[in-house]
Amino acid sequence: MLTHIKELCALPGISGREDRVREAILAYLTAHARDFTYHIDPLGSLIVKKGQSPEKIALYAHMDEVGMMITHITAEGLLGFSPMGMDARVLFGRRVRVGEDLLPGVIGGKAWHHMDSKEREAPLKTEQMAIDIGARDKDEALKYVRPGDMAVPDAPFVEFGGGRIAARALDNRVGCALLCRLIAESEHSFTAVFTVQEETGLNGAAAAANALGIPTALILETTTAGDLPDVEPHKQVCRLGAGPVLSFADKGAIYSRPLLETALTVAADRGIATQLKEGVFGGNDSRAVQRAGPGARVLAVSVPCRYLHSASCMADTADIEATYRLLYALLPALV
């Protein structure tokens, strides 16, 4: 599964540009899974039916990642951009890959030693930065890039420490890899939904959930781990190495108490350490799925991840494996 996560993280796929990720998932399923059918909905979400009667439960994982979209090109050949889920504070000086051909580029702006004292007090805003692909002018840049193209951080997948990994797009290629493995290995019937456009409004999940109308859903995600030196223990939310994260609520959804209790019971019976998300923060596809059609009971099962929505998300391989074990054991209790 680690190899598969690495392969998925290498693929560019911001919101609305998930094609390469979807193709890779289909290739994996074709090679490793059996007894499934699939279709691609009009928005681009991949909907897989595993087994013969998968209408009782659906599992969701979003394919898109945070990144940038090119908005305009200056006379000097620099690329203006709009962040797609990324904060401007993690962008300055970052190497990126741009467009379908993944051209190398650098996000630049006024250098620190050119700033006056007032400018140095505040981080650069997005409109003060541009992507430099080395073009001499606008005409040359237009040979390779046009507005609407995507850009993603140029950050390799690395393994380090005691089983830790770092890469861009762990949010949520980890969830996609978990769901792929469940389709390949589980003997139970369910519907798997690999959604688009989660980072920019939950559009894919909303459309798919309305079309499917399945009453129970698990959302496979990553969630922010704040176990860092300057964060008080009660504000850390969750921690690397402490197992999968189960949520009771976030900013968009109230999770099903019976589903949560079932997950905790299954985990205890199998000796799988879990952690409750300590606070009401963030959100994910659960919000859209919960309110779609006649409504659905939902539960998020997440892998803790440091530095979320940056070029260097960090996760623990033991947490990923424990999350898979929990999902694999939880399915038969729900179908």
pLDDT tens string 168-213 = 999 999 999 999 999 999 999 999 999 999 999 999 999 999 999 9
- Asked whether residue 138 falls in the same domain as residue 16, the answer is no
pLDDT in the model for residue 125: 85
Asked whether residue 325 is domain-assigned, the answer is yes
- Asked whether residue 299 falls in the same domain as residue 184, the answer is yes
Average pLDDT, the chain: 94
Q: Where does a domain end: 94, 124, 153?
A: 153
pLDDT in the model for residue 233: 85
The candidate with the shortest Cα–Cα distance to 98, out of 155, 157, 144, is 144
Mean pLDDT computed over 249-265: 96
Asked whether residue 47 is domain-assigned, the answer is yes
Residue 51 exposed, middle or buried by CB count within 10 Å (0-12, 13-18, 19+) = middle
Active-site pick, 198, 199, 221, 321: 198
- Asked whether residue 50 falls in the same domain as residue 61, the answer is yes
Q: Name the 3-class secondary structure at 4.
A: helix
The span from the CA of 15 to the CA of 23, in Å, is 15
Report how far apart, in Å, the C-alpha atoms of 38 and of each of 25, 51, 194 are. Answer: 11, 11, 11
Q: Name the 3-class secondary structure at 153.
A: strand
- Asked whether residue 61 falls in the same domain as residue 77, the answer is no
Residue 255 has pLDDT above 80, yes or no: yes
Asked whether residue 106 is domain-assigned, the answer is yes
Q: Where does a domain end: 108, 129, 153?
A: 153
Asked whether residue 159 is domain-assigned, the answer is no
Mean pLDDT computed over 277-295: 93
Residue 184 exposed, middle or buried by CB count within 10 Å (0-12, 13-18, 19+) = middle
The span from the CA of 209 to the CA of 202, in Å, is 11
Tokens at residue 321, please?
Answer: 């494996």
- Asked whether residue 320 falls in the same domain as residue 264, the answer is yes
Asked whether residue 209 is domain-assigned, the answer is yes
| Residue 185 known to be catalytic | no
- Asked whether residue 218 falls in the same domain as residue 311, the answer is yes
Residue 88 sits in a domain whose CATH number is 2.40.30.40
Number of domains observed in the structure of the chain: 2
The span from the CA of 93 to the CA of 237, in Å, is 29
Q: How far apart are the first and last CA of the chain?
A: 24
Asked whether residue 299 is domain-assigned, the answer is yes
Contact assessment for residue 224 and residue 284, using Cβ atoms and an 8 Å cutoff: no
pLDDT in the model for residue 67: 95
Contact assessment for residue 60 and residue 221, using Cβ atoms and an 8 Å cutoff: no
Q: How confident is the model at residue 303 (pLDDT cuts 50, 70, 90)?
A: very high
Asked whether residue 274 is domain-assigned, the answer is yes
Q: How confident is the model at residue 327 (pLDDT cuts 50, 70, 90)?
A: very high
- Asked whether residue 19 falls in the same domain as residue 126, the answer is no
Asked whether residue 285 is domain-assigned, the answer is yes
Q: Where does a domain end: 127, 153, 179?
A: 153
The candidate with the shortest Cα–Cα distance to 334, out of 245, 260, 243, is 260
pLDDT in the model for residue 118: 76
pLDDT in the model for residue 325: 98
- Domain range spanning residue 313? 2-65+168-334
Task: Give residue 79's identity as a one-letter amino acid code.
Answer: L
- Return the residue matching tokens 């305009």: 72
- Asked whether residue 182 falls in the same domain as residue 308, the answer is yes
- Asked whether residue 179 falls in the same domain as residue 325, the answer is yes
The 10s digit of each residue's pLDDT in 9-51 is 999 999 999 999 999 999 999 999 999 999 999 999 999 999 9
The 10s digit of each residue's pLDDT in 79-137 is 999 999 888 888 988 999 999 899 999 999 877 677 777 767 777 788 889 999 999 99
Task: Give residue 228's identity as a one-letter amino acid code.
Answer: L
pLDDT in the model for residue 88: 84
Q: Beta strands of the chain (E only): which ranges?
A: 36-40, 46-50, 57-62, 67-73, 79-84, 95-98, 103-109, 129-132, 150-153, 158-160, 164-167, 190-195, 216-224, 245-246, 275-276, 297-305, 313-316
- Asked whether residue 75 falls in the same domain as residue 200, the answer is no
The 10s digit of each residue's pLDDT in 144-159 is 999 999 999 999 999 9
- Asked whether residue 54 falls in the same domain as residue 172, the answer is yes
pLDDT in the model for residue 53: 76
- Return the residue matching tokens 């980072």: 199
Residue 308 sits in a domain whose CATH number is 3.40.630.10
pLDDT in the model for residue 115: 73
- Asked whether residue 213 falls in the same domain as residue 297, the answer is yes
The 10s digit of each residue's pLDDT in 228-248 is 988 888 888 999 999 999 999
pLDDT in the model for residue 123: 78
